Structure 1
Amino acid sequence: MLSTAERYDWFRKQYARFADSYCLTLVGELTLDEAIQRIGGENPQAVPGPLVVHGLPAEVVAELPGDLGPVFERLETERVVAVTQLPGWVLLVEWGGDFLGREGAVRLSRGTTLVAHGNEQSGAHFLWMQDGAVQLAFDPAHAGLRTGEKADSLVQIMAEVGFVLEAGGHRAGPHDPAASLALADFLTGLRLGPSVLHEAVYVCVTPTE
């Protein structure tokens, strides 16, 4: 059954601060170590899910046990990527937008499939790549304007999951990632539930490539 934006309403409700400035990248058929190697990840640190996807008040951060306070500060202030293994896919999580960029996506997608979407101050984005080639790329707020080798192959699916496809059409109000999550669900076959991001254990690295 096709997931629609309604199925992913929980994302903005549960992760409101993260949803305003994030990038989620799914890469198929790679191990966690292989993904970290492809982005030149350095200074690995194990990070519990709540620190990755929740914005915590300063007074709560100050009372975190052990070394978790500095880890949260690193997530908040440095250019880092949090990586975790999911069934058949590696998930890379970025705060504050898309640090890896298109070149990073090309490296990650070499020989496999990559699906990424995010939201930042300059706008939202959705990207589907296979072996370094862009299959579909668009701004979710203007989904009628698409590029890529298969730019028009998913028009019906995009409409069904909740995108506005009329040229120049866009949704009013803040960008809602729900439709992007639903399209990523369709392309990867990986259905994220409300607890997946929270309960995962991540490896936080600094990308150098």
Structure 2
Amino acid sequence: MLDDLPMVAVSADDYAWFTEQYAEIAGTCRLTLVRGRTPTEVLEQLGGSAQASPIGVRHLTEQLTPATARFAAAAAFDGWTLLVEPDRAPASESDARSSGDSESDTRASRDDEPDARASRQLSRETVLVAHSAESFLWARDGEILLQFDPADPTHRTGTDPNTLTPALNRLGFDTGEPTTAGSTDSDAGWGDAARHRERSLALAEQLTGVRITLEALEAATFSCATLPTHDEPGHPAPAGIPSAQSVAAQSVAGQSAAEARRPSARPERWDEEYDAPAEDDDWSDPDTDEPDGDTDDREWPRLLSKVRRAFT
């Protein structure tokens, strides 16, 4: 698969201008490159209705706010379309692991995120690279090849998560493997959010061959659209992207099924685990017992039960 990639010479330093000049977009937006699609085709495939006139990148920050989470803008770049939209941050994989989810559960959860579903849809019969502050995704023909959190690239999912490991190491991502002498980033595995974003931009260029420069970005004109919420009348979700209502219904059904399988609770008795001795039982050992204190030995089982309940 690496034979199909441009494999251009690029480093994170090449995109330091982006996090400096466009810090707001870098911190809050998701950038997607789709090969062989026009901006209009991409927006229409997402169910968007184009607005009257295109705008320049300097005006995007006025539109891309949390209040306009379904706003998107697209521009042509060297045979690809650059899509810019507010980032709907996914739950991080570290959060999923801390909650006790297995690796397969985490992968399934990521695959079911709205952005992942939209990326699979947009990548059908083509190639797509998308990245935000908390996610990097590479997809081809409806299949997610690689997905990871730029701040935690040791945990990568997708059908081909290891092919790009040498490129990740070279760009300074901490993959958990020894970096080679050819690494172009001296602080491999460390750095702030801006550095992670610069690495993601460099990796996107590595995969697409599309170099986004300050001059090219400021010269681009973006077609804008308001995307449906997938629950609005007359705006069904694109194929493969379930509506919020259907997702909610599935969630309720899943919870009901889980509750049905859960055994009924029964009152807990402390003496099931700590049997109180009979009054005529002598369970003390005069050779080893400590001198009597303020608490009678026969009260210890009850006290232990209270302590156990306090911490459960």
Shorter-chain TM-score above 0.5: yes
Stretches of structure 1 lacking an aligned partner (at least 5 in a row): 56-71
Stretches of structure 2 lacking an aligned partner (at least 5 in a row): 1-7, 90-112, 178-187, 229-236, 238-312
Which one of the candidate residues 199, 209, 215 is aligned to 1:179?
199
Which one of the candidate residues 74, 95, 102 is aligned to 2:116?
102
C-alpha distance in structure 1 between counterparts of 2:18 and 2:192, whole Å: 16
Q: TM-score, normalised by structure 1?
A: 0.81
User: Structure 1, residues 131-170: CA drift from partner, whole Å, max 9, x if none?
Assistant: 1101110000011111112200011111112211128x95
Partner of 2:42: 35
Partner of 2:211: 191
Partner of 2:72: 81
Partner of 1:153: 163
Q: 1:75 to 1:172 in 2, by over 3 A?
A: closer
Cα RMSD for the two superposed structures: 2.0
Secondary structure of the equivalent of 2:151? Answer: helix
1:4 is the counterpart of 2:11: yes
Secondary structure of the equivalent of 1:9? Answer: helix
Letter in 2 for 1:129: A
Question: How far off is 1:100 after superposition?
Answer: 5.8
Q: 1:100 to 1:47 in 2, by over 3 A?
A: farther
Q: Is the 8 A contact 1:125 1:137 kept in 2?
A: yes
Letter in 2 for 1:136: L
Secondary structure of the equivalent of 1:115? Answer: strand
Q: Is the 8 A contact 1:32 1:83 kept in 2?
A: yes
User: Structure 1, residues 84-118: CA drift from partner, whole Å, max 9, x if none?
Assistant: 11111011001344696112111111110000000
Letter in 1 for 2:198: A
Which one of the candidate residues 191, 201, 205 is aligned to 2:221?
201
Question: How far off is 1:172 after superposition?
Answer: 4.2
Partner of 2:150: 140
Which one of the candidate residues 123, 129, 132 is aligned to 1:115?
129
Higher relative CO (CA 8 A, sep ≥ 6), structure 1 or 2?
A: 1
Q: Is the 8 A contact 2:50 2:223 kept in 1?
A: no
Structure showing the higher helix proportion among its residues: 2
User: Structure 1, residues 61-105: CA drift from partner, whole Å, max 9, x if none?
Assistant: xxxxxxxxxxx3x44331200011111101100134469611211
Secondary structure of the equivalent of 2:128? Answer: strand
Secondary structure of the equivalent of 1:183? Answer: helix
Secondary structure of the equivalent of 1:204? Answer: strand
Q: 1:134 to 1:173 in 2, by over 3 A?
A: same
Letter in 1 for 2:57: G
Which one of the candidate residues 172, 192, 204 is aligned to 1:162?
172
Which one of the candidate residues 58, 63, 71 is aligned to 1:50?
58
Partner of 1:69: none
Q: Is the 8 A contact 1:50 1:199 kept in 2?
A: no
Q: TM-score, normalised by structure 2?
A: 0.55
Identity of aligned residues (%): 34
Structure showing the higher strand proportion among its residues: 1
Question: How far off is 1:33 after superposition?
Answer: 2.0
Question: How far off is 1:16 after superposition?
Answer: 1.4
Question: How far off is 1:43 after superposition?
Answer: 4.1
Q: Is the 8 A contact 1:85 1:91 kept in 2?
A: yes
Which one of the candidate residues 84, 91, 100 is aligned to 1:93?
84
